Chains A and B, each alone.
Chain A
């Protein structure tokens, strides 16, 4: 399998006044095409930070992240926007849906940003596939946690990104919903041929991935 994204000795530091906190300390990592990878670790170990760096939402303090031969840590803001738009789908533990958009509008947004025609129809088809055909015009506040997360997954995968970054996607859900969501997530990843990098505490979920890595205190062990 070809390499999709490569992290080379990356560091991430936050400065608060004179105090410097190093969150990521020299991580190197390679994710292949269509590979599923689980990052596990304790709270505060740097899992989410790693995801944000890969998404181009944070800039590395040092080191480089290369996506399909392009160094994303050197990209301009517009290039980063384009990178996320075309290649990355992100799923959060707290869903982060737009509260004043309906389920359908939330999903269609990813396609609209990419100027895809028939975005509403495509979003609708996917939501129906995910069992949310009866919730298309509902606002997030009118959906259950599991339904909100399915909408979030649909939004992340609808434009068929190369990589899906998921941060504790089942963290806020009960067992039954967790199972449903993880099944959904793996199904769409497989059907779209995307790579998946997920951060989780859930050992069962982690075991479903091709590979597991452990992060502790900002370093891979």
Chain B
């Protein structure tokens, strides 16, 4: 025990002395470890802090102790009375509608989410508005409306102004700053709140306007939560269409989204740490090569290889641990500073977080990731012998992968994967990513090998610079593997993200081509249908107007079995069987919906329901031709037979349905209409005028929606790209450390060149050519790998067409290439004029 302590003390003292002496050589290692570790700490801390805040506010986010969704039907009064015996109940009715500023000169309209609340709203939390003293009027006056900041901006209105909701004038009571139950509200969209009396003013028929009813319940204090929940479940057991949610499920969506996003960012930061590991290992190798004499002297004095390894290893790992502590404390304070940048509507107030669990997990991940690369690097010390002192020669050593090292590293990699994926719902994705990372390293290593073989086979000597560049690339001290791996990994990741983002944007922008309608119109009831079409035609007779009937139906059973009992929520088409679905009917199949299987019905029975089903959804749900589907249409159960499958492309922005019925049967169903219009060029619709004439009809301008989606995509892409750039920056640091540690041998080489009479211009040309060969290889393989990875992701996960972004690819290669080349040239130029005398004198 005493010996062990003495050994530790000795290693610590030696490591400390060495660190102090060589501190100026370690700053790149310090920055590299710190940046990569800090990013992982920051992501973990922010995610933890946001989740903690969401957990704290689950009741406020849900708006009650329980939420009952009844979709398009309201609860019977009898049921409401029963619920009242458990607690307080609040009704929230919502629908989509049009709003306008009512200003004839500068008319503006918006497609909004309109919510009507009762006097009990909110059951938990409070409404914060720009003018709190006016809030009383919101409840007492039926023509007062609260609007969110987005809508205020879009309509250019303020408190006290008038806005038109379906042609009814409402006074803007104030601007919403914060409301509870954000889980159910549009956080970023246009939102307006009125009271239930205000909704009555609008005179909306439920069956024609898809009113959605939600009830929130706050349990009486004298009820135990568990009992109250059971009682509520019992009350609702007779009404199967209802969906009951409790606070713990509420923030699920937000939490899940945040977890997924943070998991993705964590993977990127882990990549940064692993690349740092490669860099650190490379620095250690170079350091060992530079200090061969010192190591040989240490060995001749009786130091074992293990002892020397421990001195260097302890130094790096101790440094990593200290940097982890610093990164942990700095990142812990960050959530507090993020608050001003969060949307106020989220109502989150993040606090500083110093969670020991995060510290242990991230520190272990970092230490493991660095150890994986450090061990084979330190193993190189075994290859050095004290003999070199006698032979006055030195031999460059490299990574030493023995059987033992491979076993130890396999254990460490397994531990790392376990630690990173443990407890994550996305464990499988994480494992795939990490395996992909390891595979990429192997690919880039083989890329170097391919380059080596190619250069060895290719004997043609273009110039002296080429001969020297070739020798540098093939030499054991070559920069090629480090540039290929670090820049290769970084650029591959960056390009993969860029290609995915670009493909998404192309996919969305496809909506802007001519085939896509300019407007969607919803809530067209039967009485005004003809007038409305007439009005649309009046804008330009050449307009293409498409108007189809619309009803709602809910899938109850497929061949007598409730599909929810065997179809998982993660199924791509589970949306078809969950909740109310819009359905339609037509005489002929739509041109953009070709029949894939079965036949369009020739006879059109009035008594039998025939169904044309979305082909992809049918495959996902296991539906076959002639299957019987039981539907609930406005509370009435009917059975229909699947007669054919259609190919539906929901991304074409036209009217599409998962289910289309035979017209003779469906005409009897209560319905409204939905319409689209394609206007000739230069023709616009006066939305305010249309709203005045047809107040119940909502119009959606497709271009503005595409713009909103694009904006959101841009914001997400920007965050991801910023983090990916961290990897590139770390790649630069790793390369600059490799260049720096290469400096001494480069200086020596230049000295020999100088003695032999080589001109400076040839040395510079050699450096440029060497880098060009390596970088061209990097460009080839990164483009290939990133294209393949993004193609697989887009095709298999998102089902979106892959698109290659030439300008961004070019820009990234240009910027990264130039920066790396400049770093290399700067060092080369610095080493161009070696002082002969001290070197000759062995000083």
A195 at the binding interface (Cβ < 8 Å): no
> Contact partner of B755 among A78, A90, A142, CB < 8 A?
A90
- C-alpha spacing A38/B551, complex, angstroms: 110
A94 and B757 in contact, given A99-B745, A112-B464 (Cβ under 8 angstroms)? no
A115 and B464 in contact, given A57-B754, A100-B396, A142-B395 (Cβ under 8 angstroms)? yes
Within 8 A of A (CB), among B206-224: none
Chain B residues, CB < 8 A from A98 = 748-749, 752
Instruction: For the complex, count residues of B whose C-beta is within 8 A of A.
Output: 33
B833 nearest in chain A by CB position:
A77
User: Cβ of A113 and Cβ of B756 under 8 Å apart?
Assistant: yes
**Nearest chain B CB to A176's CB is how many angstroms away?**
16
A109 and B836 in contact, given A99-B745, A140-B393, A141-B393 (Cβ under 8 angstroms)? no
A52 at the binding interface (Cβ < 8 Å): yes
User: Cβ of B840 and Cβ of A100 under 8 Å apart?
Assistant: no
A94 and B758 in contact, given A48-B840, A101-B475 (Cβ under 8 angstroms)? no
**Nearest chain A CB to B755's CB is how many angstroms away?**
6
User: Cβ of A112 and Cβ of B392 under 8 Å apart?
Assistant: no
**Nearest chain B CB to A111's CB is how many angstroms away?**
10
**Nearest chain A CB to B433's CB is how many angstroms away?**
37
Bitwise, B367-397 to A at CB < 8 A (1) or not (0) is 0000000000000000000001001111110
A129 at the binding interface (Cβ < 8 Å): no
User: Cβ of B756 and Cβ of A85 under 8 Å apart?
Assistant: yes
A84 and B840 in contact, given A98-B749, A105-B471, A145-B392 (Cβ under 8 angstroms)? no
Chain A residues, CB < 8 A from B468 = 112
Chain A residues, CB < 8 A from B842 = 94
Within 8 A of B (CB), among A98-143: 98-101, 105, 109-110, 112-113, 115, 139-143
- C-alpha spacing A136/B759, complex, angstroms: 26
Within 8 A of A (CB), among B402-446: none
**Nearest chain A CB to B284's CB is how many angstroms away?**
19
A42 at the binding interface (Cβ < 8 Å): no
Chain B residues, CB < 8 A from A77 = 760
Chain A residues, CB < 8 A from B749 = 98
- C-alpha spacing A111/B758, complex, angstroms: 11
- C-alpha spacing A155/B842, complex, angstroms: 20
A197 at the binding interface (Cβ < 8 Å): no
User: Cβ of B471 and Cβ of A101 under 8 Å apart?
Assistant: yes
B315 at the binding interface (Cβ < 8 Å): no
> Contact partner of B756 among A105, A109, A115, A143, CB < 8 A?
A109
- C-alpha spacing A191/B762, complex, angstroms: 31
**Nearest chain B CB to A58's CB is how many angstroms away?**
7
A81 at the binding interface (Cβ < 8 Å): yes
A186 at the binding interface (Cβ < 8 Å): no
Chain A residues, CB < 8 A from B840 = 48, 52, 92, 167
A144 nearest in chain B by CB position:
B391
* CB < 8 Å A-B pair total: 87
User: Cβ of A172 and Cβ of B392 under 8 Å apart?
Assistant: yes
User: Cβ of A84 and Cβ of B393 under 8 Å apart?
Assistant: no
B834 nearest in chain A by CB position:
A57
A95 nearest in chain B by CB position:
B392
- C-alpha spacing A148/B842, complex, angstroms: 17
A39 at the binding interface (Cβ < 8 Å): no
A83 and B757 in contact, given A96-B752, A100-B475 (Cβ under 8 angstroms)? yes
- C-alpha spacing A86/B842, complex, angstroms: 27
User: Cβ of B754 and Cβ of A81 under 8 Å apart?
Assistant: yes
A82 at the binding interface (Cβ < 8 Å): yes
**Nearest chain B CB to A21's CB is how many angstroms away?**
11
B452 at the binding interface (Cβ < 8 Å): no
- C-alpha spacing A158/B650, complex, angstroms: 76
- Listed residue (A77, A81, A145, A172) with the most chain B CB atoms within 10 angstroms of its CB: A81
- C-alpha spacing A55/B754, complex, angstroms: 11
- Listed residue (A14, A100, A110) with the most chain B CB atoms within 10 angstroms of its CB: A100
> Contact partner of B477 among A49, A55, A84, A100, CB < 8 A?
A100
User: Cβ of B837 and Cβ of A58 under 8 Å apart?
Assistant: yes
- Listed residue (A52, A98, A140, A142) with the most chain B CB atoms within 10 angstroms of its CB: A98
**Nearest chain B CB to A102's CB is how many angstroms away?**
9
A141 and B837 in contact, given A101-B475, A113-B757 (Cβ under 8 angstroms)? no
B536 at the binding interface (Cβ < 8 Å): no
Bitwise, A19-60 to B at CB < 8 A (1) or not (0) is 000000000000000000000000000001100100101100
- C-alpha spacing A78/B477, complex, angstroms: 28
> Contact partner of B836 among A52, A94, A99, A139, CB < 8 A?
A52
- C-alpha spacing A82/B748, complex, angstroms: 20
Chain A residues, CB < 8 A from B748 = 98
- C-alpha spacing A96/B752, complex, angstroms: 7
Within 8 A of B (CB), among A63-98: 77-78, 80-86, 88, 90, 92, 94-98
User: Cβ of A86 and Cβ of B757 under 8 Å apart?
Assistant: yes
> Contact partner of B757 among A85, A101, A142, A144, CB < 8 A?
A85
A165 nearest in chain B by CB position:
B755
- C-alpha spacing A184/B759, complex, angstroms: 30
User: Cβ of A84 and Cβ of B837 under 8 Å apart?
Assistant: no
B472 nearest in chain A by CB position:
A100
- C-alpha spacing A109/B840, complex, angstroms: 20
A99 and B759 in contact, given A52-B837, A145-B391 (Cβ under 8 angstroms)? no
User: Cβ of B393 and Cβ of A58 under 8 Å apart?
Assistant: no
**Nearest chain A CB to B38's CB is how many angstroms away?**
37
User: Cβ of A148 and Cβ of B393 under 8 Å apart?
Assistant: yes
B560 at the binding interface (Cβ < 8 Å): no
User: Cβ of B394 and Cβ of A84 under 8 Å apart?
Assistant: no
- C-alpha spacing A176/B755, complex, angstroms: 28
Chain A residues, CB < 8 A from B394 = 99, 141
User: Cβ of B759 and Cβ of A78 under 8 Å apart?
Assistant: yes
B476 at the binding interface (Cβ < 8 Å): yes
Chain B residues, CB < 8 A from A14 = 837
Chain B residues, CB < 8 A from A145 = 391-392
**Nearest chain A CB to B456's CB is how many angstroms away?**
12
Chain A residues, CB < 8 A from B396 = 99-100, 141
Within 8 A of A (CB), among B818-843: 836-837, 840-842
- C-alpha spacing A97/B745, complex, angstroms: 12
Within 8 A of A (CB), among B442-496: 464, 467-468, 471, 475-477
Interface contacts beyond A14-B837, A100-B476, A141-B391: sample of 6 additional A-B pairs, CB < 8 Å, sorted by A: A49-B837, A84-B757, A85-B756, A112-B467, A113-B753, A141-B388
A interface vs B, CB < 8 Å?
14, 48-49, 52, 55, 57-58, 77-78, 80-86, 88, 90, 92, 94-101, 105, 109-110, 112-113, 115, 139-145, 148, 155, 167, 172
Q: List 17 A-B contacts (CB under 8 A).
A: A78-B759, A81-B759, A83-B757, A94-B842, A95-B392, A99-B745, A100-B745, A101-B475, A105-B471, A109-B756, A112-B468, A113-B757, A140-B393, A141-B394, A141-B396, A143-B393, A155-B756
B interface vs A, CB < 8 Å?
388, 391-396, 464, 467-468, 471, 475-477, 745, 748-749, 751-760, 762, 836-837, 840-842
The 6 closest A-B CB pairs, nearest first, are: A85-B757, A84-B757, A141-B395, A100-B475, A57-B836, A141-B393
